[in-house]
Amino acid sequence: MFSKYKKPSATPPAASKEAAPVADIASAKPAAAAAVTRKAAPASSAQVTPMDKERKRKERMGEIKLDLHRVLLDNLNLSALEHATEQDLRQEISAISSEFLEERSIVLNREDRQNLTSELYDEVTGLGPLETLLKDETVNDILVNGPQQIFVERSGKLELTDVTFKDERHLLRIIDKIVSAVGRRVDESNPYVDARLKDGSRFNAMVPPVAVDGSLVSIRKFKKDKLGIDDLVEFGAFTEEMAAYLQAAVATRLNVIVSGGTGSGKTTTLNALSSFIDNAERILTIEDTAELQLQQTHVGRMESRPPNVEGKGEVSPRDCLKNALRMRPDRIIVGETRGEEVIDMLQAMNTGHDGSMTTIHANSARDGVSRLENMIAMAGIEMPLKAVRSQISSAVNLIVQASRLQDGSRRMTSITEITGMEGEVISMQEIFRYQRVGLTPENKIIGHFTATGVRSAYAERFRMWGYDLPPSIYEPIAAE
Ligand SMILES: Nc1ncnc2c1ncn2[C@@H]1O[C@H](COP(=O)(O)OP(=O)(O)OP(=O)(O)O)[C@@H](O)[C@H]1O
Ligand SMILES: [Mg+2]
């Protein structure tokens, strides 16, 4: 019946092939409806582009999927799902879908049928449309701006994907599935939530009406193999000389702060730096979402917890930190310092837990110090500014700046030592920096790392601890 309708020569051949599955659905419609469609067809088919057809086909597939999903939920024994093997479940889904399609006389080609089964499998067991992106190893971040727009970050660059949700309800259902799995809730009265996915990925969602154009979801994917020092050197994040310096700094127990913007590589840098810690030391880590993967044997990991729906049960980073100090740590690593825990962090750094590390959100070493000052002020500590600064300058030895440059590359743009106080001001000296020299026609940044010519204030300490860095390490590289 439909092949007759398909005939008009105005329809491009490729598109008509693509349209085949949709056509069969139309054939299942009552005759009257089909007749109406048939009449309208010749006029409109002239303007229908292959893209329109593809979009229509997708919409139709989306509808089939949605109906089928409902049928699946009615037919599958959900409590048994947890124990079913993947193969069994796929077979079951495939059988139920075949029955469904047959009942409605919908014919799909083999590929569409396979895609349908695997999308439904993702829908039932996983995170629906997001599942393929989660499995894609090249994707670092997944950013959802409402149901129709999903971006991913690959090698530092954002790309729009053709993955979409059916509608806001579909997106909300997936969000709900994620957060309820970790015992949280998200709705109009609790419009945002932070959670960790089963695979360790970091998840944040904000739902309407606070999110104006549909729910916003951000996922930072968990990497099983975190980038190590060698990888970072290879990627050009810093040089071997800088790595040697950082090794000396961490091994000789300087207190280090990694500063940087959002997604600039702070956690990655912190994790890589931790590899220089001696295996005999007891390390305690405190994070909002456990991301660090330390290689040492003696590691105690803590995860702070926000209040529950009733506003109870919060365990703040500061609570963890205070408790950590009673747990006989050699070093404490705080994933990110952003609030009142700064006081305890600085105190820990000042009182025998040398070699502690954390990250802060700041754009330069100087900015990082102001940030620390602000955090102290916000925590309600009444202390003269000079005393605050002197506390910071005696606690922090090194600020390492991580940056994501405009071409997407991530680099350690500066390594700065804090050397003390000069009057009311904290004195600092930059040891290494990234020198930008220009831009290629493809908008890639041209630049190189260089020492600044200033010798480390800790050179003697390094030597005493057996890290005798050659003086040449501090020599600047002349610009090409
Ligand atoms: N030098 C690098 N080269 C390539 N990719 C990198 C580099 N450093 C980090 N990445 C990748 O960039 C992403 C963001 O890194 P990371 O989580 O360390 O950033 P962050 O500054 O801690 O982010 P946030 O502010 O969200 O906590 C990760 O997927 C990480 O693997
Ligand atoms: Mg981080």
Query: Taking a C-beta distance cutoff of 8 angstroms, is the pair 400, 420 a contact?
Result: no
Instruction: Note the pTM of the prediction, 2 decimals.
Output: 0.76
Cβ atoms within 10 A of the Cβ of 175, count? 22
CA proximity to 95, closest of 79, 80, 113, 82: 113
Tell me the C-alpha distance between 313 and 183, whole Å: 13
Ligand nearest to the CA of 334: 2
In this model, does residue 2 exceed pLDDT 50?
no
pLDDT of residue 10: 38
Query: Taking a C-beta distance cutoff of 8 angstroms, is the pair 348, 332 a contact?
Result: yes
In this model, does residue 275 exceed pLDDT 50?
yes
Question: Dihedral (C-alpha) 459, 462, 466, 470: value to the nearest 10 degrees?
Answer: -40
pLDDT of residue 21: 40
Ligand nearest to the CA of 231: 1
pLDDT of residue 34: 39
| Shortest-distance Cα residue to atom 28 of ligand 1 | 140
Stretch (H or E) spanning 420: strand 410-422
Tell me the C-alpha distance between 260 and 263, whole Å: 8
Using a 6 Å cutoff on CB, does residue 335 contact ligand 1? Answer: no
Greatest mean pLDDT among 23-32, 95-104, 468-477: 468-477
pLDDT of residue 94: 86
Ligand nearest to the CA of 261: 1
Q: How confident is the model over 77-98, as pLDDT tens digits?
A: 655 666 778 888 888 888 888 8
pLDDT of residue 29: 38
Choice between 226 and 403, residue whose per-residue pLDDT is larger: 403
Mean pLDDT of the chain: 85
Q: How confident is the model over 373-398, as pLDDT tens digits?
A: 999 999 888 889 999 999 999 999 99
Residue listed under structure tokens 């099983």:
224
Please give the distance, rounded to the nearest whole angstrom, from the Cα atom of residue 304 to the centre of ligand 2. 15
CA angle 392, 393, 396 (to 5 degrees): 75
Using a 6 Å cutoff on CB, does residue 405 contact ligand 1? Answer: no
Q: Give backbone dihedrals phi and psi of 104, rounded to 5 degrees, phi first.
A: -100, 10
Please give the distance, rounded to the nearest whole angstrom, from the Cα atom of residue 4 to the centre of ligand 1. 56
Query: Which residues make up the environment of ion ligand 2, defined by Cβ < 5 Å?
Result: 266-267
In this model, does residue 168 exceed pLDDT 70?
yes
Mean local confidence (pLDDT), 190-208? 89
Mean local confidence (pLDDT), 99-127? 84
pLDDT of residue 24: 39
Of 11-25, 242-256, 445-459, give the lowest mean pLDDT range.
Answer: 11-25
Render 89-140 in DSSP notation, one character per residue.
HHHHHHHHHHHHHHHTT----HHHHHHHHHHHHHHHHS-TTHHHHHH-TT--
Maximum alpha-carbon separation in the chain: 92
pLDDT of residue 79: 59
Whole-angstrom distance between the N-terminal and C-terminal Cα of the chain? 73
Choice between 456 and 22, residue whose per-residue pLDDT is larger: 456
Mean local confidence (pLDDT), 401-416? 95
Tell me the C-alpha distance between 468 and 461, whole Å: 9
Indicate the pLDDT class of residue 369, thresholds 50, 70 and 90: very high
Tell me the C-alpha distance between 320 and 285, whole Å: 9
CA proximity to 432, closest of 455, 410, 450, 419: 450
Instruction: Determine the residue of 410, 413, 434 to mutate for testing ligand 1's pocket, defined as the one with the most ligand atoms within 8 A of the Cβ atom.
Output: 410
Cβ atoms within 10 A of the Cβ of 86, count? 9
In this model, does residue 4 exceed pLDDT 60?
no
Cβ atoms within 10 A of the Cβ of 46, count? 9
Q: How confident is the model over 298-316, as pLDDT tens digits?
A: 999 999 988 877 778 899 9
Indicate the pLDDT class of residue 47, thresholds 50, 70 and 90: low
Please give the distance, rounded to the nearest whole angstrom, from the Cα atom of residue 355 to the centre of ligand 1. 22
Of 97-101, 215-219, 263-267, 322-326, give the lowest mean pLDDT range.
Answer: 97-101
Using a 6 Å cutoff on CB, does residue 62 contact ligand 1? Answer: no
Please state whether 442 falls in left (phi above 0), alpha (psi between -120 and 50) or beta. Answer: alpha
Please give the distance, rounded to the nearest whole angstrom, from the Cα atom of residue 152 to the centre of ligand 1. 14
| Shortest-distance Cα residue to atom 9 of ligand 1 | 265
| Shortest-distance Cα residue to atom 2 of ligand 1 | 410
pLDDT of residue 231: 93
In this model, does residue 124 exceed pLDDT 80?
no
In this model, does residue 53 exceed pLDDT 90?
no
In this model, does residue 11 exceed pLDDT 60?
no
179-201 core/surface letters (b: 16 or more CB in 10 A; e: else): beeeebebeeeeeebebbbeeeb
Please give the distance, rounded to the nearest whole angstrom, from the Cα atom of residue 399 to the centre of ligand 1. 17
Q: Which of ligand 1's atoms lies nearest the C-alpha of 336?
A: 27
CA of residue 116 relative to chain centroid, distance: 28
